[in-house]
Chains A and B, each alone.
Chain A
């Protein structure tokens, strides 16, 4: 743990032009520290701001200059204060000079560690690089940058720059931008620094690597083209799912006074014989069995070792084939990357030659891999070329696992051409679909590709760490709603959709959708989903009015009034009708009347259960349709009516069945609090008696 301890300096531009993205900057930086608090507790982080009103750094005291650079936090082991400091960054008033900030940061690290300390040191610059860099006292800006870059390399400091910028920012700043970009590029070239440009706030959240995992090879050895021709390669994981953190089970049995309680839970497994459940079978009397049909075949480990499949560690080429023979959906797992042994120039050239030839000829290679000695299975996968467009990054291969015969289930599906004509889109519908596919473009030319996996953070993890931090301050903190910026990942971009509203409307008009009238149960399912989901369900109703009227003539079920036989079902069907928004109002109104009738016509309470059923259905419908007031008013009115008509036994009946008003937690529009909802009937009862 401590071996991999890293010191990170965040160099954050808080100048006026950055204000727009500062909220996201705060989020991603605080998340970075939150994650370090979980995974790398001994890492150190420091914060330097530039573009601030004030100036506070050692260099300005020692040599002067370096204005508007504030060392907000000297490097220290991560803690809650850091998170808080990052959550409320001050807004600066000056245009910051990122070069000054880099020098200040470098100075801090050099002073702290000297030249010899080999610990991991990293600078992370986040800026929009819109404001000019000051001219140095001597030499050129370029020369200065080269000097700084050399210093960085000499001291073993890594650097990462994230430039947040929407393209086309006016021509006035174009010159400055170009110059800055050029300077940053020198850094990238000279120091193996990472330089990324992001446009949207969402990709800013994804651009900063919030958790550093040092890569570990899964294989080092020969890629055997044949027994005589081998290439030295290292294989790494290219993608690997960052899991939701594994939480431990919590025991609250320890007395609260016990300060040293671990609150841990131990999980114990006991193996008991079926005949005699009281007897625990000790480990030496157990044997592993494998299922084969209804039989379980016992096999001792030694026996198994003797007969099991034991391939030798190796990576062998099976052959090349056309890229079109490997369809994309056959990739089975997370991807790996094959890079040539970095110290072996000839291996790099061999990989490069193969990769480039494969790309030119549109071929891929099939390989058989056994990564480790003693591995019990082989993997057959495909190598695809990964030709680098940067000078300083070598060519490599992507590797993906392919399925075996046993992994594939060959189901047969009907051909689209065999479907009835009514299921085939006509010309006009096809055109509408074409337009939709063309216009809802997430990667328009001249703009950043939206939601590129490389820059799209996992919204669930973001939310978890945020909540974790909130809880550390207030144990009862509620789960925060999903951040607006993160909603761009989970929901369609309203801007993109409203921009193409005409295409979407045309698409919707071209097709007609309706629920299958034969399936009552499932229509309810859709009703529920529609309303409990987001606000996207609205506006569904108006599309299919005409179509419904023309087609529905054939279908028998078309509920327009609530009958006596099955009032609940009728009500639900009516509520789920989409052909006109009026149905909901009508359904509620009719249901109310029905309930009144039932209560009124009741003889010694014989209709009460049915009335209750209706009430429950009405209540549910009102919650779904966000009409709590309708129900609450009605229930109040009904109770009043009952008492006046000497039917308070019905109120008692309702109380006994625990029917309540709709509270605020159930439907946000309700004006009734939880307590009020619960006590409504109880209270009114006592009043009467």
Chain B
């Protein structure tokens, strides 16, 4: 555990949704990316509509590369191996033909992703033909079976760790729906049988095998030829896991990307509807703020991590305490103590279930009724059979009647009212954009809502409101600056991008840090289009009038102007006082430290620098500003 000293003052019991943010080691994944490297993967079909020729092999690599980058940030305890099959060269533990495990220095075959792995994997394609080579492994006449070998190698890699502690998965990328098409007769039957048996053995060991089929838009990847049997899926499951053929390459990439991550259930929830009728739901955290990783303190000499020890001292006696069992609140000049059990008992107002209270029209849910990211719930029939049916029925009714459900969620950290909004499935281009289910929105209590607008209500008469003409101009402006297909998460977080770009560069000991692109800046070019500019001008004219100088209007809020006057006076005074010193001389002779803090601040104020901090900080700031 890393202890952040900044966190000392946080209430231990009170950190909300801790389980949602933390990736625990116990839920890690062991994952083998198994990539078909047969010549067929390298063929390009030029298609009208798609911009450039991209081979399936390239698509697979770019998907893996993306997923590695996400993994190192979000779930760095996961261990991965990248393994090609149908290769010319071989490199694997069992030393069998046609299977090549890609790896970098200081790393086992199946290990946590490192900066170096990501870096080198990004350029594996250039070296591929020379160092690894592509060669179709299953040809008639030999008994060689590269798919069988690949599964065997993957299974051997995944022998590490117990199945209870980790999810073990094999992700198989291929565009060959009939791997034994080249062989005939008894050999084919035999090969199919042994390969399926191999897959089944792996599944019996708790390893799931998932097929990520690659196909061109005009041809179908026929899973029923072979892979349906291999993945162990049947009937309806199959339809869920193998989406229909896609029309565009980008859609296929999106689908692959989504399927590479395993859904993690945050919590199982019992949703009691009425008089003892309860169904079972699983909750998922689909949206949570991604944060830069926690800070670890290191020894500046050895760069080894330090162990943080926390100790409690009694302020009165100085005695070392165990974790103090009691808390207190001062009240009426007394210290009222509470035991930890008492506090958790106070918070326990219902059982941990979700209790339905009733339904309301969607219009009752206001935009400010929000405190935290929502949680997605999806029904499960695992424990209580029939849950899904009830859920679907309610889901449909709520959608049709445009209502949301109000429920009380008795979680232990903060029991609160939640709104359950039914979300219909949204599919576009064969891919799922919004999954069907309900989103749980955490509602504020009356204590949490502030009535700021009312503070500025006008006691005499009405406030100015826009006229119809002004509204019309605003509407015209909106038409000009309109995002046609805005999707909520189209921007990447520039701060986070920068953070990890810096970390990656430092981890690889590279000197220059790559520039990152801030996608969140407004589109200056688009804004300066003449039609946009004229719409803006018209709107401005209609609300601000002819007088172009916005600042000219006097601020009639007395208090604000007073403070700003004061501030201005201080600044002017500082400039005057500042001129009394020969700063260059003082700095050169090191006499700055002989000045008082007040005098130092003259310089800082006059040059509009921050004035906070200790004297040393002020001096160093002055020196930096002077460039010394």
- Chain B residues positioned under 8 Å from A368 (CB to CB): 520-522
- Chain A residues positioned under 8 Å from B478 (CB to CB): 320, 357-358, 361, 363
Interface flag for A458 (CB, 8 Å): yes
Q: Contact between B350 and A408 (Cβ–Cβ < 8 Å)?
A: no
Bound-complex Cα distance A64 to B381 (A): 75
Interface flag for B186 (CB, 8 Å): no
The 7 nearest A-B residue pairs measured at CB: A247-B327, A329-B439, A377-B495, A353-B466, A357-B474, A540-B276, A343-B557
12 additional contacts (CB under 8 A) given A292-B76, A393-B463, A451-B357: A237-B450, A248-B328, A318-B520, A319-B482, A330-B374, A349-B466, A402-B489, A425-B392, A425-B396, A458-B448, A461-B445, A513-B277
Bound-complex Cα distance A357 to B261 (A): 42
Q: Contact between B553 and A345 (Cβ–Cβ < 8 Å)?
A: yes
Could you tell me which residues of chain A, from 365 to 384, have a CB within 8 Å of some CB in chain B? 366, 368, 376-378, 380, 384
Q: Contact between B315 and A380 (Cβ–Cβ < 8 Å)?
A: no
Bound-complex Cα distance A326 to B319 (A): 56
Q: Considering the complex, give the chain A residue whose CB is closest to the CB of B465.
A: A352
Of A173-181, A503-511, A660-668, A681-689, the stretch lying at the interface with chain B is: A503-511
Interface flag for A674 (CB, 8 Å): no
- Chain B residues positioned under 8 Å from A432 (CB to CB): 393
Q: Contact between A533 and B358 (Cβ–Cβ < 8 Å)?
A: no
Q: Contact between B441 and A396 (Cβ–Cβ < 8 Å)?
A: no
Interface flag for A170 (CB, 8 Å): no
Interface centre among A192, A249, A538 (most CB of B within 10 A): A249
- Chain B residues positioned under 8 Å from A407 (CB to CB): 287-290, 373, 489, 493
Interface flag for B471 (CB, 8 Å): yes
Interface flag for B461 (CB, 8 Å): yes
B449 interface neighbour in A246, A291, A453, Cβ under 8 Å? A453
Bound-complex Cα distance A299 to B296 (A): 11
Q: Contact between B488 and A326 (Cβ–Cβ < 8 Å)?
A: yes
Q: Contact between A247 and B263 (Cβ–Cβ < 8 Å)?
A: no
Known contacts A437-B359, A516-B385; decide if A236 and B307 are in contact (CB<8 Å): no
Of A50-58, A68-76, A89-97, A254-262, the stretch lying at the interface with chain B is: A254-262
Could you tell me which residues of chain A, from 324 to 379, have a CB within 8 Å of some CB in chain B? 325-335, 337, 339, 341-346, 348-350, 352-354, 356-358, 360-361, 363, 366, 368, 376-378
Of B174-182, B397-405, B566-574, the stretch lying at the interface with chain A is: B397-405
Bound-complex Cα distance A539 to B475 (A): 57
Say how far B296's CB is from chain A's closest CB, in angstroms. 5
Bound-complex Cα distance A242 to B463 (A): 31
Q: Contact between B292 and A290 (Cβ–Cβ < 8 Å)?
A: yes
Q: Contact between B464 and A345 (Cβ–Cβ < 8 Å)?
A: yes
Bound-complex Cα distance A265 to B400 (A): 57
A333 interface neighbour in B303, B373, B527, Cβ under 8 Å? B373
Bound-complex Cα distance A419 to B437 (A): 13
Interface flag for B308 (CB, 8 Å): yes
Known contacts A357-B474, A404-B290, A496-B358; decide if A247 and B520 are in contact (CB<8 Å): no
Q: Considering the complex, give the chain A residue whose CB is closest to the CB of B279.
A: A513
Bound-complex Cα distance A247 to B9 (A): 10
Interface centre among A230, A245, A443, A455 (most CB of B within 10 A): A443
Q: Contact between B459 and A190 (Cβ–Cβ < 8 Å)?
A: yes
Could you tell me which residues of chain A, from 501 to 538, have a CB within 8 Å of some CB in chain B? 504, 507-508, 511-516, 519, 522-523, 525-526, 529-530, 532-534, 536-538
Bound-complex Cα distance A314 to B555 (A): 21
Interface flag for B601 (CB, 8 Å): no
- Chain B residues positioned under 8 Å from A182 (CB to CB): none
Q: Contact between A526 and B276 (Cβ–Cβ < 8 Å)?
A: no
Say how far B490's CB is from chain A's closest CB, in angstroms. 7
Please list 27 pairs of residues, one from A and one from B, whose beta carbons are closer than 8 Å in the complex, sorted by A's number. Answer: A37-B332, A190-B460, A232-B550, A238-B452, A251-B321, A268-B310, A272-B307, A292-B293, A296-B303, A304-B502, A329-B421, A342-B557, A346-B550, A409-B286, A419-B236, A423-B381, A432-B393, A440-B356, A441-B358, A464-B346, A468-B336, A479-B345, A489-B417, A496-B358, A497-B274, A526-B270, A543-B277
Interface flag for A406 (CB, 8 Å): yes
Q: Considering the complex, give the chain B residue whose CB is closest to the CB of A413.
A: B435
Q: Contact between A292 and B299 (Cβ–Cβ < 8 Å)?
A: no
Interface flag for B205 (CB, 8 Å): no
B298 interface neighbour in A298, A317, A513, A543, Cβ under 8 Å? A298
Bound-complex Cα distance A497 to B349 (A): 20
Q: Contact between B388 and A441 (Cβ–Cβ < 8 Å)?
A: no
Interface flag for A267 (CB, 8 Å): yes
Interface flag for A653 (CB, 8 Å): no
A263 interface neighbour in B9, B311, B335, B522, Cβ under 8 Å? B335
A424 interface neighbour in B76, B364, B392, Cβ under 8 Å? B392
Say how far B244's CB is from chain A's closest CB, in angstroms. 11
Interface flag for A669 (CB, 8 Å): no
Q: Contact between B351 and A532 (Cβ–Cβ < 8 Å)?
A: yes
Bound-complex Cα distance A228 to B541 (A): 12
Q: Contact between B555 and A191 (Cβ–Cβ < 8 Å)?
A: no
Q: Contact between B448 and A293 (Cβ–Cβ < 8 Å)?
A: no
A352 interface neighbour in B311, B401, B464, B537, Cβ under 8 Å? B464
Known contacts A286-B300, A415-B436; decide if A192 and B457 are in contact (CB<8 Å): yes
Interface flag for A266 (CB, 8 Å): yes
Q: Contact between A319 and B481 (Cβ–Cβ < 8 Å)?
A: yes
Interface flag for B432 (CB, 8 Å): yes
Known contacts A274-B307, A331-B374, A430-B393; decide if A400 and B367 are in contact (CB<8 Å): yes
Say how far A360's CB is from chain B's closest CB, in angstroms. 7
Q: Contact between B289 and A356 (Cβ–Cβ < 8 Å)?
A: no
Q: Contact between A337 and B368 (Cβ–Cβ < 8 Å)?
A: yes
Bound-complex Cα distance A32 to B356 (A): 30
Q: Considering the complex, give the chain B residue whose CB is closest to the CB of A369.
A: B520
Q: Contact between B321 and A240 (Cβ–Cβ < 8 Å)?
A: no
Q: Contact between A434 and B401 (Cβ–Cβ < 8 Å)?
A: yes
Q: Considering the complex, give the chain A residue whose CB is closest to the CB of B303.
A: A298
- Chain A residues positioned under 8 Å from B327 (CB to CB): 247-250
Interface flag for B560 (CB, 8 Å): yes
Q: Contact between A437 and B261 (Cβ–Cβ < 8 Å)?
A: no
Interface flag for B390 (CB, 8 Å): yes
A440 interface neighbour in B293, B359, B448, Cβ under 8 Å? B359
Q: Contact between B450 and A346 (Cβ–Cβ < 8 Å)?
A: no
Bound-complex Cα distance A356 to B152 (A): 65
Known contacts A333-B373, A404-B493, A472-B334; decide if A490 and B408 are in contact (CB<8 Å): yes
Q: Contact between A292 and B493 (Cβ–Cβ < 8 Å)?
A: no
Known contacts A249-B324, A406-B496, A496-B358; decide if A460 and B347 are in contact (CB<8 Å): yes
Known contacts A281-B299, A353-B471, A443-B360; decide if A291 and B287 are in contact (CB<8 Å): no
A410 interface neighbour in B258, B360, B410, B421, Cβ under 8 Å? B258
Bound-complex Cα distance A464 to B331 (A): 12
Report B280-305 CB contacts with A as 1/0, cut-off 8 Å. Answer: 00001111111011111111111111
Q: Contact between A513 and B315 (Cβ–Cβ < 8 Å)?
A: no
- Chain B residues positioned under 8 Å from A292 (CB to CB): 72, 76, 115, 293, 500, 503-504, 507
Bound-complex Cα distance A516 to B385 (A): 6
- Chain B residues positioned under 8 Å from A376 (CB to CB): 495
Q: Contact between A192 and B316 (Cβ–Cβ < 8 Å)?
A: no
Known contacts A239-B444, A513-B385; decide if A289 and B295 are in contact (CB<8 Å): yes
Interface flag for B8 (CB, 8 Å): yes
B466 interface neighbour in A227, A352, A516, Cβ under 8 Å? A352
Interface flag for B361 (CB, 8 Å): yes
Q: Contact between B495 and A327 (Cβ–Cβ < 8 Å)?
A: no
- Chain B residues positioned under 8 Å from A422 (CB to CB): 389
Of A210-218, A557-565, A632-640, A643-651, the stretch lying at the interface with chain B is: A210-218
Interface flag for A603 (CB, 8 Å): no
- Chain B residues positioned under 8 Å from A413 (CB to CB): 263, 378, 432, 435-437
Q: Contact between A320 and B483 (Cβ–Cβ < 8 Å)?
A: yes
Known contacts A321-B483, A534-B350; decide if A357 and B471 are in contact (CB<8 Å): yes
